[in-house]
């Protein structure tokens, strides 16, 4: 029996895919509300594409459930494909057709025709920055141009959901920014977006939530900033002061602050390791002991570090 709340546009419950004894996706739980831009982040072989294939109904789960806009993709793949725009890892266009003709083909498959289709294609070619290249053969397009055309190909059917498998892989920073802007554009139109990527840095900019995926398991997920903070809570704060050497008495007083782990001299600075961000408490103790107000810097952990930490540990 399937119990799906239907409040989520994409929802999986213990979704699992095994190839023989090898488990490519292991008990994945996803819940994406409308308008979310979710980044499924993980290294090569994490199971991102396998997950996406199950969401699209191209691959049947070994166990667990999956629902996309209330449909079970394994049983109702056509209904899912109607509302979901999918950009595969390797986009296939007809190389001997023009960009416009390729978009016309997709448009027709989705019931569009005549001036409505033409206007839509004109608009999309403009949005993806290929207005002047519409009549060029796609075979002559660069990789980045094909990726952008891929986004237009997804957008032409006004999908409620867009599932993009590595949309920025293999393109230069400028091309990546263009793709990310297009994703933001889709989000503005209330499209729920799932992007898979191993390029955390770039993709996190447009994501409302990210999941860190490795070896088939979701190791952590949530809003980018919250994920960083949670990691911080588990870890340590480094509070750095531009003071080469603190008087022993000051160090002793600092060590008395609950949560302080150590006080060390590192080069020209003093680093206080603590379980919490004790910047205020430190400031007070130093002011009390020396009469000085010292500028401090709290070492911030970027999501990159969270990502690297999880990948190292997994």
Ligand X SMILES: Nc1ncnc2c1ncn2[C@@H]1O[C@H](COP(=O)(O)OP(=O)(O)OP(=O)(O)O)[C@@H](O)[C@H]1O
Q: Given strand 84-87, what is the order of strands in its sheet? A: 84-87, 161-165, 192-197, 37-41, 209-214, 217-222
- Beta strands 269-274 and 260-266, pairing class: antiparallel
81 binds ligand X (CB under 6 A): no
Q: What DSSP character marks residue 189?
A: T
Three-class secondary structure assignment of 128-184: CCCHHHCCCEHHHCCHHHHHHHHHHHHHCCCCCEEEEECCCCCCCHHHHHHHHHHHH
Q: Which stretch binds Mg ion (CB under 5 A): 41-49, 108-116, 209-217, 277-285?
A: 41-49
* CB of 14 or CB of 113, closer to ligand X: 14
198 binds ligand X (CB under 6 A): yes
Binding residue (CB under 6 A) for ligand X from 12, 49, 102, 209:
49
Q: Taking the complex as a whole, how short is the minimal distance between the CB of residue 160 and ligand X, in angstroms?
A: 24
* CB of 136 or CB of 202, closer to ligand X: 202
* CB of 55 or CB of 239, closer to ligand X: 55
Q: Taking the complex as a whole, how short is the minimal distance between the CB of residue 303 and ligand X, in angstroms?
A: 18
At residue 279, the 3 state secondary structure works out as: helix
Distance between CA atoms of 154 and 166, rounded to whole angstroms?
A: 14
* CB of 209 or CB of 251, closer to ligand X: 209
Residue 115 CB burial class (10 angstroms; 0-12, 13-18, ≥19) = exposed
Residues written for the chain: 314
197 binds Mg ion (CB under 5 A): no
Q: Which stretch binds ligand X (CB under 6 A): 38-46, 71-79, 90-98, 251-259?
A: 38-46
* CB of 107 or CB of 167, closer to ligand X: 167
Binding residue (CB under 6 A) for ligand X from 7, 45, 113, 135:
45
* CB of 17 or CB of 120, closer to ligand X: 17
49 binds Mg ion (CB under 5 A): yes
Q: Taking the complex as a whole, how short is the minimal distance between the CB of residue 134 and Mg ion, in angstroms?
A: 30
End-to-end CA distance of the chain: 33
Contacts with ligand X, residue ranges (CB under 6 A): 19, 22, 24, 42, 44-50, 89, 198
């Amino acid at each position: 029996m399937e119990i799906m709340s239907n409040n989520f546009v994409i929802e999986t419950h213990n979704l699992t895919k095994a190839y023989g004894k090898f488990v490519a996706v292991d008990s994945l739980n996803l819940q994406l509300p409308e308008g979310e831009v979710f980044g499924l982040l993980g290294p090569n072989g994490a199971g991102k594409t396998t997950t996406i294939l199950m969401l699209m109904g191209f691959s049947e789960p070994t166990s667990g459930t999956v629902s996309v806009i209330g449909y079970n993709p394994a049983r109702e793949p056509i209904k899912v494909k109607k509302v979901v725009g999918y950009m595969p890892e390797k986009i296939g266009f007809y190389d001997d057709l023009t960009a416009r003709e390729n978009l016309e083909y997709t448009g027709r498959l989705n019931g569009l025709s005549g001036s409505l289709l033409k206007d839509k294609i004109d608009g999309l070619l403009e949005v993806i920055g290929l207005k002047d290249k519409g009549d060029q053969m796609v075979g002559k397009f660069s990789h980045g141009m094909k990726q952008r055309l891929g986004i237009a190909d997804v957008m032409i059917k006004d999908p409620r959901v867009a599932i993009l498998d590595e949309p920025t892989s293999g393109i230069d920073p400028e091309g990546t920014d263009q793709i990310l802007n297009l994703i933001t554009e889709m989000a503005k139109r209330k499209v729920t977006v799932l992007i898979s990527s191993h390029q955390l840095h770039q993709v996190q900019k447009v994501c409302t939530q990210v999941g860190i995926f490795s070896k088939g398991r979701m190791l952590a997920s949530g809003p980018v900033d919250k994920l960083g903070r949670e990691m911080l809570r588990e870890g340590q704060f480094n509070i750095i002061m531009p003071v080469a050497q603190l008087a022993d008495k000051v160090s002793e007083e600092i060590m008395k602050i609950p949560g302080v782990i150590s006080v060390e001299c590192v080069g020209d600075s003093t680093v206080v390791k603590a379980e919490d961000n004790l910047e205020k408490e430190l400031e007070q103790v130093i002011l009390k002991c020396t009469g000085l107000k010292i500028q401090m810097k709290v070492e911030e952990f970027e999501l990159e570090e969270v990502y690297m930490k999880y990948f190292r540990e997994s």
